Amino acid sequence: MSKPLLILLLIAGVIAGCSGDNFLDVSNENELSSDNYYTRIDHFDMSLNGVYSATKSLDLFGQTFYVETLLALPHTSDYWNAQSRNEVTSGDANVLIAWRGWYRVVSRANDIIESAPEFLEEQQPNQAIQDELDLILGQAHFLRGFAYFHMVRLWGEDTFADDSTKLAVPLILEIPSTRDDMMKPRASVGQVYNQVIADFKKAEELLPDAWFGADVARVDKYAAKGFLGKAYLYMEEYSLARGYFEELINNPNLSLLPYNEYKDLFHGQYEFSTESVFELNYSIDMEQNIWENGLGSGIALSLAPPGRGWSNVTPHGVNVFRLGDDPRAEIALYDPEDSVATSDGDMEPAGESEFNYTGHSFKKYVPQSYSVYSTNRNSGINYLVMRMADVYLMYAETMNELGNDNTALEYVNKVRRRAYGFNPETPEPSVDFSGLGGSQLQDSLREERFRELFAEGHRWYDIVRWDIVEEEVTKYNDYRVTQGPIIYHEWDKYYPIPLQEVNTNQQIVPSNGYE
């Protein structure tokens, strides 16, 4: 058994429990373990592949977390799960899947981070190998920070700025060696954010400015800077956020794509472009599907129009009307009359989904030129975790908070100009916002984030940190099809600790409101 697999078993114990006091007493001298696995640098690289694989997995961005949590909680989608009805309980399967998925990422990253010093001491590698190990460690720290950044925003019972003493999730930063080691109490929101910042800063220190060729999918220094800016924005440390966003904006290798490329960005074209800060790499896998740990994405299987996939997760009618005639509606949505390939390869109208008020389907991350029924139920479209349009809008928000409304307005307008097919750098009175400042500008840029980043997984985190969850989710009682009435509760702003974890871990307390 490899060490990464051993760690998965340990984390499985945290999630589901394990019987017998001697569970960890069984040993086999012929097994690969923490004492004998890492003897070459390529062992670390193989384990790093496992951290990336966990992030891209079916549990997380490969399908379930993106579809069942990130689209459903803010009502981006019209769906029948509890998230779409604001009726989540601690026994909810999707809550457990997200918890399991993110702790799998943490576990595999910990394996690398903790094993590196022992490898250096025992193997005494040359400088070239030490440098290569630093690059691997930088990526492991980034991915661990990335995992905890999601978890603190999902399970944290308040924001960092409002009350950082509120409870979030256990901080597991070492490889558990006993059952007791696995039983960690919940850390505070502040403690988790401090770890997120520490991991991203370590990544910033160790990673290169960019990767090329076969390594292009690896996370780089500017992704770390981008997420440091984003974490500081969420912490309302605006001056710190500003500096990191400006580093990205001033990087000549990062920019908005022109409109004719932007419109195809979510269909597998222009991967790792100048707009991309961090993206997850997928490819069509005709040998293994997503349930067999294949290399493809399962997002389109859920979201595709009728006959091209399951078509049971569709854009909420409120969002269709909210996008209106904005040109980004054509990038985000398939109209029932749009031509989309069938499983036979014929281009035919998408048709009307029975689960949607208007009949529209999602378009981002859903291929137009092929059906996933013809590609082993998976697509090869990369998932864009952070792109420069997001950075521009976060920078605009930061400058608005710092009282520099002219700069904030310009960066909102850059995003708008590109969306309407104009040069982002050239003023365009027909689409530019003008004369806005203060709270009026704040409202406009928030709505601009909705339009530009629709169905990209940011909306829930946005409305939570803006403290407008009740205001937003109750809008979706109109035009719904599959969900029951939405009734808001104060605890709807965060996920409950999974019931299985509460029952297994005596050190943990249930989430407030979900007892």
Band of pLDDT at residue 225, cut at 50, 70 and 90: very high
- How high does pLDDT run on average in the chain? 92
**What is the pLDDT at residue 481?**
84
**Helices and strands per DSSP (H, E), number in the chain:** 20, 8
**Exposure on the CB side of residue 249, measured as CA atoms within 13 A:** 20
Q: Using CA atoms, how far apart are residues 513 and 511, in angstroms rounded to an integer?
A: 6
**Exposed, middle or buried by CB within 10 Å (0-12, 13-18, 19+), for 88?**
buried
**What is the pLDDT at residue 123?**
95
How far are the Cα atoms of 15, 24, 97, 275 from residue 53, in angstroms, in the given order?
Answer: 20, 26, 16, 23
User: DSSP assignment, residue 265?
Assistant: G
Helical ranges in 124-250 per DSSP H: 127-155, 160-163, 179-182, 189-206, 221-234, 238-249
Band of pLDDT at residue 356, cut at 50, 70 and 90: confident
Mind listing the pLDDT tens digit for each residue in 241-252? 999 999 999 999
The whole-angstrom distance between residue 371's C-alpha and the CA centroid of its chain comes to 25
Amino acid type, 203: A
For every residue of 130-146, DSSP letters joined together read HHHHHHHHHHHHHHHHH
Q: For domain 1-17+33-192, give the CATH number.
A: 1.25.40.390
**What is the pLDDT at residue 10?**
37
Band of pLDDT at residue 36, cut at 50, 70 and 90: low
What average pLDDT does range 226-250 have in this prediction?
98
Annotated domain spans of the chain: 1-17+33-192, 290-381
The residue among 192, 40, 222, 18 whose CA lies nearest residue 116 is 40
**What is the pLDDT at residue 21?**
37
What average pLDDT does range 340-344 have in this prediction?
97
Mind listing the pLDDT tens digit for each residue in 192-215? 999 999 999 999 999 999 999 999
**What is the pLDDT at residue 372?**
97
Mind listing the pLDDT tens digit for each residue in 104-134? 999 999 999 999 999 999 999 999 999 999 9
Q: Using CA atoms, how far apart are residues 62 and 80, in angstroms rounded to an integer?
A: 20
Backbone dihedral angles phi then psi of residue 62, each to the nearest 5 degrees? -70, -25
**What is the pLDDT at residue 48?**
98
Contact 484, 460 (CB under 8 A): no
**What is the pLDDT at residue 23?**
26
**What is the pLDDT at residue 415?**
98
Contact 273, 261 (CB under 8 A): yes
Q: Using CA atoms, how far apart are residues 473 and 494, in angstroms rounded to an integer?
A: 14
Q: Euclidean distance between the first and final Cα of the chain, in Å? A: 38
